[in-house]
Amino acid sequence: MARTYDVVLWGATGFTGGLVAEYLAKKHGVGRELRWAIGGRNREKLEKVRAGLQAIDPAANDLALVVGDGKDRAALDRMAIDARVVCSTVGPYALHGRELVGACVEAGTDYCDLTGEPQFVRAMIDEHHARAGQTGARIVHCCGYDSIPSDLGTLMLEEYACERHGTRCEEVKHFAGESKGGMSGGTAASMVELMDEATRDPGIRRLLDDPYSLAPSDSATGRDGHDQRGVRWDSDVGMWTGPFLMAAINTRVVRRSNALLEHAWGEDFRYREAMTFGKGARGWLFAAGVAAGTTVGMAAMAVGPVRRLAAERFLPASGEGPSKEVRDAGYFVSRLVGTMRGDAGKLRGTVRGVSDPGYGETAKMLGESAVCLAKDDGKTRKEGGVLTPASSMGMTLVERLRAAGMTFEVTGPGE
């Protein structure tokens, strides 16, 4: 069905939404290869965003505005019908994203976001996966720093193993290494909302503890256990490792990808994540300090008054985020090690970004995900459902991100 827009960017007046709008204007222009619009609740703020984009591309003067409320289902239905893809930056998604996903599912409209909220993703799977399969809507969560380096990095290793060595990786380990970046008010609000829900609902706590919480309910589960909580030496990277906070969403996304790809990587496929902290006594002390701090911090945030105090006094407010200087000085490096089946050896992969991981690079990852869904027909999955980046866009998105300046590379034994 013909649609007015290839992409509607929903939440363009927010901090991250503004960055995605800037990225689309710089990389894809306005009204040339991509027909897109910006959307949100406040027309005056949308007009201000549009005016700012004219410094990047004068054609932004003609950029369409879509005004509506995230709780107004009729307005969301109209927007979904008009768009091939809705790209949402409006979080916390557990509070503000449910109606929009429902509208996209019913309209057969593709959708992507940058949520890192596992309880929201699980709810969308339960409510919409089957129906999205009927309407053809591809609902793709976690298209930012959570969880593209993990999900597409794993896919990259698995495809390399298949093409070059005629096998698959039975285990992939992802190591979040050196990085530099900041936090926005939207990210802080999502963290607080997740802790609020987990405090109230034992079911959410069980979901967060389940390593296969995002897998299809009728899918076989593998051999993975809890995310790393303490300090370990890993000989594959030659460094001490500790817990990685975002493993709680990333590992579940990767395992869902394997299930949605019909267990192409094996029903016994194993995946885990950790952070690297260097070698020797200094590396161990750093890892131990982070592990202890993570445990104490999570326990403190589970206490309502402490959580509210942190939100009010120490975490950035809604609409706030790192400055351009901080974003431009940011970067991240993720290392992956894949153990191939049999005696085929090990693969080593790198995913690298050249700006703040949660904002500069996330704007790139989310923006290219939206364009990939809108423009790469015939190269991506056709079937609808609540999907993952790897199971929906696969290596097509990897190639887009490489062209946009991110590094995705693999070396094999002897290379």
Per-residue pLDDT of the chain (415 residues), as tens digits, is 689 999 999 999 999 999 999 999 999 999 888 999 999 999 999 999 999 999 999 999 999 999 999 999 999 999 999 999 999 999 899 999 999 999 999 999 999 999 999 999 999 999 999 999 999 999 999 999 999 999 999 999 999 999 999 999 999 999 998 899 876 566 667 777 888 888 888 999 999 899 999 999 888 889 999 999 999 999 999 999 999 989 999 999 999 999 999 999 999 999 999 999 999 999 999 999 989 988 877 676 667 776 677 666 666 666 678 889 999 999 999 999 999 999 899 999 999 999 999 999 999 999 999 999 999 999 999 999 999 999 999 999 999 999 999 999 999 998 8
- Residues 213 and 230: their CA atoms lie apart, in Å, by 22
What is the rounded CA–CA span in Å between residue 26 and residue 49?
Answer: 14
Q: Which residues, in sequence order, are CB contacts of 62 under 8 Å at separation 6+?
A: 30, 31
- 3-state secondary structure (DSSP) of residue 265: coil
- Alpha carbon of residue 31 to chain centroid: 27
Residue type for position 265: W
Q: What are phi and psi of 384, to 5 degrees?
A: -85, 175
Residue in 140, 131, 205, 173 with CA at minimum distance from that of residue 335 = 173
Rounded Cα–Cα distance for residues 157 and 257 (Å): 14
Q: At what angle do helices 118-135 and 185-200 cross, to 10 degrees?
A: 100
Q: What separation in angstroms does the CA of 97 have from each of 55, 92, 115, 248, 306?
A: 31, 7, 10, 20, 26
DSSP run (H or E) holding 195: helix 185-200
Cα–chain-centroid distance for residue 306? 28
Please work out, in degrees rounded to the nearest 5, the angle formed at the alpha carbon of residue 57 by the alpha carbons of 51 and 58.
65
Write down the pLDDT at residue 44.
98
Give the per-residue pLDDT at 196. Answer: 84
Rounded distance between C-alpha atoms, residue 178 and residue 237, angstroms = 13
> 6-45 burial by CB neighbour count: b if 16+ within 10 A, else e?
bbbbbbbbbbbbbbbbbbbbebbebeeebbbbbbbbeeeb
Determine the pLDDT at residue 193.
Answer: 82
What is the model's pLDDT at position 185? Answer: 60
Per-residue confidence (pLDDT) for residue 317, from 0 to 100: 66
pLDDT of residue 31: 87
